[in-house]
Amino acid sequence: MQRNVKLVIAYDGTDFHGWQRQPNLRTVQETVEQAARRVVRHPVDVVGASRTDAGVHAHGQVAHLITSCSIPVVNLRRAIESRLPQDVALVHAGVQSPDFHATRHARSKLYRYRIHNTATRPAEALATRYAWHVWHELDAERMRVAAAAMVGTHDFAGLAGQGSPRRSTVRAVHRIGIRRRYAELLIDVQGGGFLYNQVRAMVGTLVEIGRGHWPPERVRQILATGDRGLAGPTAPAHGLCLQWVRYDRRWEPPDGA
């Protein structure tokens, strides 16, 4: 009997060329598939909720795979994780209904961007791989005012990369939180889905506003015109992490599965 297994995966994206499988490149998707195949003894496709880019990390990437393997799911998780490299962890595994799809049924995602905002490099805080060092002092309140204009359903053509064409560039951003934690500035962006490099373009724009280069009203101009040239740079990938992906309650795994 086939089972649809939901996976929650964490990884350090530094040494990966992103999530999605690519010929002759190390990717998270293929790494997890290779480990799973060794356990279940048949080919599997691991379908992820988010195609994180090269260098982007994850605490809570969600994926699913279909298997005919009868190993209890608790043991299945342990067996797969034991075959994964040190920069990938299989946090959870649970049996789902046959029609669950990690990508199509995702309702909300939270990405967190970490900025190390001091004049000194973040090496002593062990954050070099996980935070963008911006030595200019950033005005968090100005950034919050600008971020408020990004919340809602908008055409984000002016705040996205060109690498992944979509039918529509309209997306819904549910919430943006900006707070300081010691030397770091944390930017949380929650939404139903994002365009290629959208979150990183949003962060790069907020940083320019936080430095005082532009007024917060600049965001409304970018959204109204769709002109990527008016927005800030794409923030480096290593500061971004997929924190979690949420689904309707019906997709929660049954107890003891």
DSSP-assigned letters across all residues of 34-57: HHHHHHHSS----EES--PPTT-E
Closest CA to 5 of 52, 81, 69, 58: 69
Tens digits of per-residue pLDDT, 204-245?
999 999 999 999 999 999 999 999 999 999 999 999 999 999
Pairing of strands 3-11, 57-67: antiparallel
In a domain, 234, yes or no: yes
Q: Is 158 within 8 Å of 226 (Cβ atoms)?
A: yes
Out of 105, 134, 164, a domain closes at: 105
Cβ atoms within 10 Å, residue 38: 12
Look at residue 166 in the predicted model and tell me its pLDDT.
72
Exposure on the CB side of residue 102, measured as CA atoms within 13 A: 25
pLDDT for residue 141: 97
Is 146 found in the same domain as 78? no
183 within domain boundaries: yes
What is the structure's pLDDT at 163? 64
Which residue in 12, 15, 53, 188 is the catalytic one?
A: 53
Judgement on whether residues 134 and 101 belong to the same structural domain of the protein: no
Taking only the tens place, the pLDDT of each residue in 151-205 is 999 999 999 987 656 789 999 999 999 999 988 999 999 999 999 999 999 999 9
> Does residue 193 contact residue 147 with C-beta atoms inside 8 Å?
no
Looking at the structure, do residues 133 and 234 belong to the same domain, yes or no? Answer: yes
Residues 79 and 173 occupy one common structural domain: no
Cα distances from 18 to residues 29, 82, 144, 186, 216, in angstroms, run 8, 21, 29, 22, 32
Q: How far is CA 233 from CA 6, 13, 158, 199, in A?
A: 36, 21, 11, 11
Tokens of 172: 């819904």
* Domain interval for residue 85: 3-105
Spatial separation of the C-alpha atoms in residues 196 and 163, rounded to whole Å: 7
Place of tokens 């992820």: 48
**Domain match, 82 and 58 both:** yes
Q: For this structure, is 53 an active site residue?
A: yes
Return the CATH number at 193: 3.30.70.660
Residue whose entry in the numeric block shows the structure tokens 């005919």: 68
* Residue 113 predicted with pLDDT over 70: yes
Residue 58 maps to which CATH number?
A: 3.30.70.580
pLDDT at 162: 76
Q: Which pLDDT value is given to residue 120?
A: 82
pLDDT of residue 249: 81
Q: Which residue has the tokens 């994206």?
A: 13
pLDDT grade, residue 1 (50/70/90)?
Answer: confident
Q: Average model confidence (pLDDT) for the chain? A: 93
Look at residues 192, 70, 199, 184 and name the one whose alpha carbon lies nearest to residue 132.
184
Considering its fold, how many domains does the chain have in total?
Answer: 2
Instruction: Please answer whether residues 172 and 88 qualify as being in contact, where contact means their C-beta atoms are separated by less than 8 angstroms.
Output: no
Same-domain status, 195 and 90: no
Nearest residue to 103 (alpha-carbon basis) of 173, 20, 201? 20
pLDDT in tens, 134-160: 999 999 999 999 999 999 999 999 999
Same domain, 207 and 125: yes
Residues 18 and 71 in one domain: yes
What one-character-per-residue DSSP string does 112-138 give?
EEEEE-SSS-GGGGT-TTTSEE--SPP
Amino acid identity, position 114: R
Is 252 among the domain residues? no
Residue 246 — very low, low, confident or very high, per pLDDT cuts 50/70/90? very high
At 91, phi and psi to the nearest 5?
-75, -35
pTM for the model: 0.94
